[in-house]
Structure 1
Amino acid sequence: MTALAAEPATTQLAPPAPRPGVIERLTDILDVFTHGPDHLFLEEVSGLTGLPRSTTFRLLRQLVEMQWIDHDERGYRLGPRMHAVGRRVFDHAHLRAAAANVLNELHLATSAVVHLVVLDGNAVVYLDKVGGPAGASIPSRVGIQIRAHRTISGLAILGCMHPEEVDRLYDEPGSISPRARARLHRRLGPIRRRHGLALTPADMRTDMRAVAAPVTGPHGPLGAISVALRGPDAPVEKFAPMVRRAALETTALLTH
């Protein structure tokens, strides 16, 4: 009787790992500069990121053109655009220090993503973000700048200002249309009556919900603290008293 040879076992090959996207590769390059030496040559950046030399050169060239990175005879280094973001964050070090513990306590009490922002012209700049595992679900990051009327934190700040002050912020050409400005003032009315407490309006098209309260000083709002959750029906309203208390505690720490 002839024995049949056993068929070779088929090997299940794991699917190839997805290729990193452009944003991931650019982030890898910027991380090398934020955590490494001040100046790096092309070969060093390529070696530290694990990216091919040609890819690294192409991405560095784009970053130089956009002023995120500078290039001279000593190699590549962080550019003026990156330093401008850093200045926005560190110019408000006193506010960040006063809010640090408050933000962490608010996150622990709500399990939501907590933000600290300040007004810069008619935009807000994110100074801090505390989110833990939930942080990745909210597309925000420290240093980012967004028009104030497009964020709940920005509305909380604008809601502490006189209508004429808000108009001055949006007087620049091409800012927002007269119809959008009128809509903004209607939206700010209830926020003013709540002394700056702002919640995501029902008509705002977003799959996130947030509540924010202003941090104020002797001459008006200094910034705002907010909590945000993913989900169109996220019950952030129940966190409103805690957010207001966090803003008041931060205000008190700044005045002592």
Structure 2
Amino acid sequence: MSIVDTSQKQRGRGVLEGAFQVLDALSRFPDGAGLSQLSRACELPKATTFRLLEQLVELGAVQRHGTEYSVGHLMARLGENWQPHPRLRRASRGPIRTLARLSTAAIAVTILDGDRVRVVGATRGTPGELPHVMADSASVSRTAAGQVLLASQPRRERPEAYTATEWRRLRSRLRQDDAVVVEYEDVLPGVCCVAAPAPLPDGQGVASVSALIIGSTVPSALPGLVLRAAGEISRGLAVH
């Protein structure tokens, strides 16, 4: 009996893994894809891919339009409730509202998810992935938030946008307890940004707390306010 049960569990796990392979492949084709494309993307036989797709269609996880497939309503509904870091979002809600009120700046809390930057909390806009933006790209790595997220990682290789001396100085600065990065129109003319790291618990890295302001100058009080908000978020994470 135990041998049969183990075999059934293995088959069930194999089907589940295959289904997620198909869903992951579909996520790369927002306009839909045909069976052959998905079979190649999943690296699964065409017959297996077809069987999994049709099962997922019945569940509402995939939708079929003629000979093409795309993500279905069930996955879209589940995706609406996805959060990159729920604890961080809860801990940052109060501090970023206070920071926005005191500074009149637009505030965002971001983290690295692999090589992508995700917004966990913000005073404007909807949290989510910044579309088609890689953290190491020159435009992102030069922002105050990008500097905080990248240079705070001890094993991160130097982005191409930095010289070895610049990268070494930035990393040294971010090791200080009162580390704040101020960017003066380095990426967008007429936009300045101040960012500070908020260490995540259990050595998970840091989040960036950043304040964007329109203008060519940064109010003298803003770096201190951003630093205080980052500290409040870190302390909030410790008790959540």
TM-score range, shorter chain: 0.5 to 0.7
Aligned to 1:143: 129
Aligned to 2:98: 105
Aligned to 2:145: 153
Contact 2:108 2:123 in 1 (8 A): yes
Contact 1:112 1:227 in 2 (8 A): yes
State the Cα distance separating 1:156 from its structure 2 match.
Answer: 1.8
Contact 1:198 1:213 in 2 (8 A): yes
Contact 1:123 1:154 in 2 (8 A): no
1:211 aligns with 2:201: no
Contact 2:118 2:127 in 1 (8 A): no
Contact 2:32 2:70 in 1 (8 A): no
Q: How far apart in 2 are the matches of 1:159 and 1:62?
A: 33
Q: How far apart in 2 are the matches of 1:88 and 1:117?
A: 18
Aligned to 1:254: 237
Q: How far apart in 2 are the matches of 1:88 and 1:211?
A: 30
Q: How far apart in 1 are the matches of 2:181 and 2:82?
A: 23
Secondary structure at 1:200 match in 2: strand
Q: How far apart in 2 are the matches of 1:89 and 1:234?
A: 37
Contact 1:157 1:196 in 2 (8 A): no
1:180 aligns with 2:162: yes
Contact 1:152 1:210 in 2 (8 A): yes
Aligned to 1:226: 210
Contact 2:142 2:186 in 1 (8 A): no
1:166 aligns with 2:156: yes
State the Cα distance separating 1:125 from its structure 2 match.
Answer: 1.4
In structure 2, relative to structure 1, the CA distance for the partners of 1:113 and 1:185 (3 Å cut) is: same
Aligned to 1:197: 180
Q: Deviations over 1:56-101 (max 9, x none)?
A: xxxxx98436xxxx74159997569x96xx5896131111011011
| 2:32 maps to amino acid | V
Q: How far apart in 2 are the matches of 1:194 and 1:153?
A: 17
In structure 2, relative to structure 1, the CA distance for the partners of 1:72 and 1:156 (3 Å cut) is: same
Q: How far apart in 2 are the matches of 1:202 and 1:185?
A: 22
- Equivalent residue in structure 2 for 1:64, among 32, 47, 70: 32
State the Cα distance separating 1:210 from its structure 2 match.
Answer: 0.7
Contact 1:126 1:142 in 2 (8 A): yes
Equivalent pairs counted in the alignment come to 174
State the Cα distance separating 1:235 from its structure 2 match.
Answer: 1.6
User: Structure 2 regions of 5+ residues with no counterpart?
Assistant: 1-28, 34-61
Question: In percent, how many aligned pairs have the same letter?
Answer: 20
Q: Deviations over 1:166-208 (max 9, x none)?
A: 22xx6xxxxx44x735243344443444643111057556431
State the Cα distance separating 1:151 from its structure 2 match.
Answer: 2.5
In structure 2, relative to structure 1, the CA distance for the partners of 1:98 and 1:203 (3 Å cut) is: closer
Q: How far apart in 2 are the matches of 1:199 and 1:113?
A: 15
State the Cα distance separating 1:143 from its structure 2 match.
Answer: 2.1
Q: How far apart in 2 are the matches of 1:146 and 1:79?
A: 27
Task: Report runs of 4+ in structure 1 exceeding 6 Å deviation.
Answer: 74-77
Aligned-residue CA RMSD (Å):
3.9
TM-score (norm: length of structure 2): 0.57
In structure 2, relative to structure 1, the CA distance for the partners of 1:118 and 1:236 (3 Å cut) is: farther
Aligned to 1:49: none
Q: Deviations over 1:12-39 (max 9, x none)?
A: xxxxxxxxxxxxxxxxxxxxxxxxxxxx
TM-score (norm: length of structure 1): 0.54
Secondary structure at 1:255 match in 2: helix
Contact 2:210 2:226 in 1 (8 A): yes
Secondary structure at 2:89 match in 1: helix
Secondary structure at 2:91 match in 1: helix
